[in-house]
Amino acid sequence: AQKVTQAQTEISVVEKEDVTLDCVYETRDTTYYLFWYKQPPSGELVFLIRRNSFDEQNEISGRYSWNFQKSTSSFNFTITASQVVDSAVYFCALSEPFSGNTPLVFGKGTRLSVIA
Amino acid sequence: SQTIHQWPATLVQPVGSPLSLECTVEGTSNPNLYWYRQAAGRGLQLLFYSVGIGQISSEVPQNLSASRPQDRQFILSSKKLLLSDSGFYLCAWSSGGQGMIDTQYFGPGTRLTVL
């Protein structure tokens, strides 16, 4: 069964610190997609990244980077030099598009607070 | 470019009253549409999704229902609200097609309080 675990419920860091948000997933499919979304205080979920199961290359976008490791079923998200604007709830999600299961399963989210 | 709208933005309703939340998407055709609920301090729960007009899949049995009267319109309804229906309701869309491969993009949400 598909499952996403974000073990860190809340993280608090001081501005300019680096922070890593963990995501561990479970799937029986060989074809799947992993996502990260950001939910700022306004509530809208903002798409950050999508990675398919055949592409294990790490991704960097500005201060954001993602480490996908199939060997440990993890898709971790690192924010470098964190800023107050990074304060939000971050969700990791898993899609198994050909399984007939729920289209997108979310983890419970990690609330990140960046303190000035 | 595609945009997704939801209204109302906030709603306060008494227990037992009806509900109608609307979601519309612009700039795309035949999208897949989704309704999620997020209870206070909790994760997202998929309620319904639709791959076409009149086609609704329900993920969780409850007193809510969904309808898709037009290609880019998705409506969430209830005949009688419960206290437990309070939460943040998010609509999302993705490109239509087989396998639901594409990314889901979310609307601004409706915050519902049932008193």
Is residue B98 predicted with pLDDT exceeding 90? no
**Mean local confidence (pLDDT), B102-107:** 91
Q: Which residues pair with B54 in a beta bridge?
A: none
Is residue B96 predicted with pLDDT exceeding 80? no
Question: What percent of chain A is modeled with pLDDT above 70?
Answer: 97
| Contacts with A91 from chain B: Cβ below 8 Å | 43-44
- Quickly tell me which residue has 């009267």 as its tokens: B69
Cα(A112)–Cα(B113) distance, rounded to whole angstroms?
26
> To 5 degrees, how large is the angle CA A97–CA A101–CA A106?
85
Is residue B99 predicted with pLDDT exceeding 80? no
Structure tokens at A70: 């199939």
Q: What is the pLDDT of residue B102?
A: 79
Beta pairing, strands A105-106 & B10-13: unpaired
Mutate to test the interface with B, among A48, A104, A110, A111 (most CBs of B within 10 A): A104
* Cβ-contact B104, B93 below 8 angstroms: yes
**Per the CB < 8 Å rule, is B106 touching A91?**
no
Of B94, B105, B109, the CB nearest to A43: B109
In 3D, which of A69, A114, A74 has the Cα closest to residue A94? A74
**Per the CB < 8 Å rule, is B100 touching A33?**
no
- The type of residue at B25 is V
Question: How many pairs of residues across A and B have Cβ atoms under 8 Å apart?
Answer: 50
Residues in chain A where the model's pLDDT stays below 70: none
Q: What is the pLDDT of residue B12?
A: 97
Q: What tens digit of pLDDT does each residue of B57-88 get?
A: 888 867 899 999 999 999 999 999 999 999 99
